Structure 1
Amino acid sequence: MNSNIAQTQLESERESSIWKNKQFLFLWTGSSINSLTFHVFVLAIPIIIYELTQSTLAMSAMRAIQFIPNVLLGIVIGVIVDRLNRKRLMLNALTTQIVIIASFVILLFSNSLQLWHLYLLGFVLYSSSYAFGNAYHTILPLIMPKGQLTTANSALSFVSTLINLVGPAFAGFVLLYMSYTVGLTVTLAGMLVLLILTSFVQIPHQEKDTRKLDRQGIWLDIKEGWQQLVATKELWIATLMVLVSNFASSLSGAVLIFYALDSFKINSGELGFIFSASAVGGFIAAFVAKKSREWASRGQLFITAYYFAVAGQFILFLSMNWYWLAIGMFLLGIQVTFFNIHYLTLRQEATPNHLLGRVAGTSSMIMKLAAPFGYLVAGLLGEVIPVHYIFLGSTIIYLAVILVAIRTPLYKMK
């Protein structure tokens, strides 16, 4: 009993020292700067494609390329992360991204950039970006005490949401007063900062499977990751919840801008405010996520997050002006961020570290599968029914997820 109290006190003391952890600060600072400057690239590429082609199809194809590495290579990248030295993999992934952004700068400077360059280099860029993100996720439990994982994920989500709030404005300012070449150089500088700070990170000796990954086949590696994910019942159920909710959110997300423009004739500033409302909701969710563990069990928190989604989607359905759309997006921003923080923490806590890369890759691939299908279905439905009924359909899907989830072991999870 005394040992349990001592352990609780120790974890409580560690909770207050998150900002004294140099390894975490290196990664947190570097990724924050990189995320901000990467917004310049994200905004510049669609504009460049439009100037090259004036084609919406060409622009949407580039958007699809962002998802392809996750869907096609998620599991394989997870295996690679578990097999190789994770810090070295992060450095190599960042170096690859730097080379690609530098290639864009050179092609723009020489006025020789073509559409196929964007597609090919973009695929490699997003693949290496996903590899870095997977390794980052698996390293976090190695440099943080277990009791700090929720706090760390909240801090990461908090600054990510803040950057998503100010990043587009920052990118617009940069591209308004500078050329694309200079703008992408800003992105390049952010990546270089992250590369330098990542090189300073000292990672403790990571757990290794006694059978040694390098002596077994890649298919066995994949099988082990899949079995671990399915065997962890609460994590598996939460993953399926995200799979279904991604379908629901992609349904509404596919038609939201069209609905706002067509029904309320809003301008770009009002449209920006609607999406900023979502970021504000995420900002608040990240702020309270750590404290929420004192209010209810994690399983109950998962379910509670989806009540916000039900309310948000239903408000979108009932919306009478763009203010209502902003309120709905605010609630949806709370749901997504709040759920993601606790999901990432659960995955890190429940998965042996030598399997974490594969489990993260497998679960991420499963969760992203529904998004392209949802976009397609929404596009077809929008041709035959009033668009706002798609929001009602998303509401019903979220409500169905809640009704099923409360009858699973996830709801009883402590």
Structure 2
Amino acid sequence: MTDDTKTSTTKDGGFARVLRSPGALRLVGSLFVLETGSAMTTVGLPLLVMQRYGLGLEVGFTLAARFLPNILLGALAGQVVDRHDPRRVATLAALGSGLAAVLFPLTTAMWQIQLLALAIGIGYMFGFPATMALRPQVIPEGSELEGNGLIVTAERVPKLLGPAVAGPIAAVAGINWLFTAEAATALVAAALLTRLPRTAGAAGSPGADGTAREATGARQVPSSVGRRLAGWARAVAGGARDLVRMVRGDGRLSSLTITAFTYMVALGLGRTFLAAYSLHGFGHVPGMLGYLLAAMGLGGALGGMAAAAFRSWNQGWVYILGNVLEGVCWVALIATGDWYAALALLFLAGVFESIASVVYFAEVQKRLPAGLQGRYYATLVPLSDVFLVAGTVAGGVLVDRAGISTGAVLVCLAMALPVLVLVTRLVPERPAPAVEEAAPETERSAPVAESAAA
């Protein structure tokens, strides 16, 4: 299944097969409406804080509160997804986020707003890995590129649609209605998720629960709070070790994971660079930063659908070219002073970024067993947020001291250099061995590479 040739020639693969899968359509639709509501809250939350308390550090702290749960406790979310039906986890996460959003207008103090922002972050911490874990059961085998292309598009389009819809709603009805809109979209998203089939081997199955306990090396512990926490810590550590073993056993999978982190550094650098670029290069064009981000978002939406056109290619090369060409687009920005050329370059950057993202998601889905999908993303996303924050902070210092042009070059290098260094692992001569579920800790006597491919 990991052979590119086999994937490209799978009979009856393609968008038509995905579109005939009701489960895939419900998952894509749920993600789309949920992300649309989240995008509206992204607009409404800082406006609400500034209206009530003015512009200051509070805005930054409030927005940062949404990332803290994932950074600090993301690994625990993976354990929950592994031990329970991911459909139920994703549904409860959506409903919890919607409830938190609708309470924002009722707050009377800053700490209440920050607490609700923290609650939304907890919802995302559980919801994202659970949604990723649902993909193997609804996307037909052989249509991973098309299915993940639809998922990436469903995640990218709301970044354009949400703010576009939020503007008229805030102008006509007021900011408070933006949070009501997210609550409504959360209800729709949850309704779509409840119609998905129950995951085989979910928590209701004693055998699956036993396998999860064996795979993480967890043991039954007494009901003491302290011992329960110790048991969770051991489970988290054991799950992380198992995940590392499996990733290390597949050169392409491990390289994709490494470059996911380096790309987040590039993204953080790019955010700082783009703000400075729009201010110094197009200060005469009001709202140019918004136009640039919208152009990239539009390219990302179209790129998610275009990825399937390259299904006959070696997917390692597609991933490498996507990252390198996106980096070239960023560095080319410093060579143009025309607004339309800048918009075109960022549109292309969005296309290349989306194509590379689709390949990434599809390869992880094919190469990692379904039972570890949730844990993988629950481990990946918190670490990615750390790299994103590091890139953003570094970008503020580097762009300020070294200049805008140097900032563009650094963004390009952070995107292109890692995939070029890992080219021999991303484009293997032979397909990597299929990866199966982690064996119980007592059965692992083989080396790491063998246990990953056992």
| TM-score, scaled to structure 1 | 0.89
Q: 2:70 & 2:6 partners in 1: Cα distance?
A: 42
Q: 1:62 to 1:226 in 2, by over 3 A?
A: farther
User: Amino acid of the residue matched to residue 213 of structure 1?
Assistant: A
Q: 2:358 aligns with which of 341, 348, 364?
A: 341
Q: 1:171 & 1:315 partners in 2: Cα distance?
A: 32
* Identical positions, percent: 18
Q: 1:102 to 1:268 in 2, by over 3 A?
A: same
2:450 equivalent in structure 1: none
Q: 1:395 to 1:55 in 2, by over 3 A?
A: same
Q: 2:269 aligns with which of 251, 259, 271?
A: 251
Q: 2:191 aligns with which of 188, 191, 196?
A: 196
Deviation, structure 1 residue 176: 0.9
Deviation, structure 1 residue 255: 2.9
2:118 equivalent in structure 1: 123
- Whether the 8 Å CA contact 1:161–1:279 is kept in 2: the answer is yes
Structure 2, gaps ≥5 residues long = 219-233, 432-454
Are positions 1:46 and 2:46 aligned together?
A: yes
1:316 equivalent in structure 2: 333
What whole-Å deviation, never above 9, does each CA across 1:254-295 have from its counterpart, x for those lacking one? 13123211332143443332112102221231121112112x
Structure 1, gaps ≥5 residues long = none
Higher mean C-alpha displacement, 234-243 vs 215-224: 215-224
Number of aligned positions between the proteins:
404
Runs of 4+ in 1 over 6 A off after TM superposition: 5-10
Are positions 1:395 and 2:440 aligned together?
A: no
Q: 1:398 to 1:13 in 2, by over 3 A?
A: closer
Q: 1:140 & 1:93 partners in 2: Cα distance?
A: 17
Q: 1:306 & 1:48 partners in 2: Cα distance?
A: 37
Q: 1:361 & 1:232 partners in 2: Cα distance?
A: 19
Q: 2:251 aligns with which of 224, 233, 253?
A: 233
- Whether the 8 Å CA contact 1:243–1:366 is kept in 2: the answer is yes
1:163 equivalent in structure 2: 158
1:86 equivalent in structure 2: 86
What whole-Å deviation, never above 9, does each CA across 1:34-70 have from its counterpart, x for those lacking one? 2223322111001111123323422222332333233
- Whether the 8 Å CA contact 1:40–1:174 is kept in 2: the answer is no
* Greater helix share, structure number: 1
Q: 1:256 & 1:17 partners in 2: Cα distance?
A: 39
Q: 1:319 to 1:226 in 2, by over 3 A?
A: same
Q: 1:68 & 1:382 partners in 2: Cα distance?
A: 26
Aligned Cα root-mean-square deviation (Å): 2.6
- Whether the 8 Å CA contact 1:311–1:328 is kept in 2: the answer is no
- Whether the 8 Å CA contact 1:260–1:266 is kept in 2: the answer is no
Q: 2:396 aligns with which of 379, 389, 413?
A: 379
- Whether the 8 Å CA contact 1:40–1:175 is kept in 2: the answer is no
Deviation, structure 1 residue 326: 1.8
Q: 1:369 & 1:164 partners in 2: Cα distance?
A: 22
- Whether the 8 Å CA contact 1:260–1:322 is kept in 2: the answer is no
Deviation, structure 1 residue 203: 2.9
Q: 1:366 & 1:6 partners in 2: Cα distance?
A: 33
Q: 1:321 & 1:413 partners in 2: Cα distance?
A: 46
User: Amino acid of the residue matched to residue 237 of structure 1?
Assistant: S
